[in-house]
Amino acid sequence: MANSEMTEVAALIVAAGRGQRVGGTVPKQYLPLGGDRPVLHHTLRAVGGHPGVQWLRVAIHPDDADLYTRAIDGLPADVAAKLLPTVAGGASRRDSVRNGLESLVNLIPRLVLIHDGARPLVSSTQIDRVLAALGTSDGAILALRVTDTLKREGQAGQIVGTVDRSQLWRAQTPQGFRFTAILAAHRAAAHGPELTDDAAVAERAGLRVALVEGEERNLKITRPEDFERAAQVLAAGERSTEAMTLMYEPRTGQGIDVHRFGPGDHVMICGVRVPHDAGVIAHSDGDVGLHALVDAILGALGAGDIGRHFPPSDPKWRHADSSRFVTHAVGLAQARGARIVHVDITMLCERPRIGPHRDAMIARLSTLLGITGDRISVKATTTERLGFTGRKEGLAAQAIATLLVPVPPPP
Spatial CB neighbours of 236, under 8 Å, sequence gap ≥ 6: none
> What whole-number distance in Å separates Cα of residue 33 and Cα of residue 40?
9
In 225-334, beta strands by DSSP E: 248-262, 266-269, 272-275, 279-280
Spatial CB neighbours of 183, under 8 Å, sequence gap ≥ 6: 101, 102, 105
Closest CA to 124 of 303, 289, 335, 370: 370
CA distances from 256 to 58, 67, 146, 347 (A): 46, 56, 43, 10
Residue predicted with more confidence, 314 or 114: 114
Instruction: Please report, as a single letter, which amino acid is at residue 141.
Output: I
CA dihedral angle for residue 320, residue 323, residue 325, residue 331, rounded to 10 degrees? -140
Query: 241 pLDDT exceeds 80?
Result: no
* Segments in 209-257 forming alpha helices (H): 224-247
Specify the pTM: 0.61
Spatial CB neighbours of 298, under 8 Å, sequence gap ≥ 6: 253, 255, 304, 305, 306, 309, 329, 332
Q: Which of 150-154, 222-226, 249-253, 276-280 has the lowest mean pLDDT?
A: 222-226
> What whole-number distance in Å separates Cα of residue 24 and Cα of residue 116?
20
Domain 9-148+159-222 has CATH 3.90.550.10: yes
Rounded mean pLDDT, 183-201 = 92
Residue 32: strand pairing partners: 38
Closest CA to 83 of 49, 45, 52, 57: 57
53-107 pLDDT, tens per residue? 999 999 999 999 999 999 999 999 999 999 999 999 999 999 999 999 999 999 9
Q: Are 15 and 45 in contact (CB under 8 A)?
A: no
Closest CA to 394 of 245, 223, 279: 279
Which listed CATH number (3.40.47.10, 3.30.390.50, 3.30.1330.50, 3.30.565.10) goes with 248-406? 3.30.1330.50
**pLDDT for position 407:** 74
**pLDDT for position 243:** 46
> Which range scores top for mean pLDDT: 133-147, 172-186, 236-250, 323-337?
172-186
> What whole-number distance in Å separates Cα of residue 240 and Cα of residue 231?
14
Query: 1 pLDDT exceeds 70?
Result: no
Average pLDDT, the chain: 88
Q: Are 401 and 252 in contact (CB under 8 A)?
A: yes
Instruction: Report domain extents, the chain.
Output: 9-148+159-222, 248-406
> What whole-number distance in Å separates Cα of residue 161 and Cα of residue 358?
51
Per-residue pLDDT band for 388 (boundaries 50, 70, 90) equals: confident
Rounded mean pLDDT, 294-311 = 91
Q: 38 preceded by cis ω (within 30°)?
A: no
Query: 396 pLDDT exceeds 70?
Result: yes
Q: Are 310 and 284 in contact (CB under 8 A)?
A: yes
> What whole-number distance in Å separates Cα of residue 145 and Cα of residue 166?
8
Q: Which of 32-36, 37-41, 324-328, 399-403 has the lowest mean pLDDT?
A: 32-36
Closest CA to 172 of 65, 81, 46, 31: 46
Per-residue pLDDT band for 20 (boundaries 50, 70, 90) equals: low
> What whole-number distance in Å separates Cα of residue 140 and Cα of residue 376?
20
Q: Are 283 and 311 in contact (CB under 8 A)?
A: no
Determine the Cα angle at 307 with ends 267 and 331, to 5°. Answer: 85
At residue 119, φ and ψ (nearest 5 deg) are -115, 85
**pLDDT for position 189:** 93
**pLDDT for position 147:** 84
Q: Are 109 and 8 in contact (CB under 8 A)?
A: yes
> Which range scores top for mean pLDDT: 10-14, 188-192, 237-241?
10-14
**pLDDT for position 316:** 77
Per-residue pLDDT band for 216 (boundaries 50, 70, 90) equals: confident
Task: Write down how long the chain is.
Answer: 411
Q: Are 57 and 87 in contact (CB under 8 A)?
A: yes
Query: 2 pLDDT exceeds 60?
Result: no
Query: 3 pLDDT exceeds 70?
Result: no
Q: 3-state DSSP: the chain helix, strand, coil percent, rounded to 5?
A: 40, 25, 35
**pLDDT for position 169:** 92
Per-residue pLDDT band for 21 (boundaries 50, 70, 90) equals: low
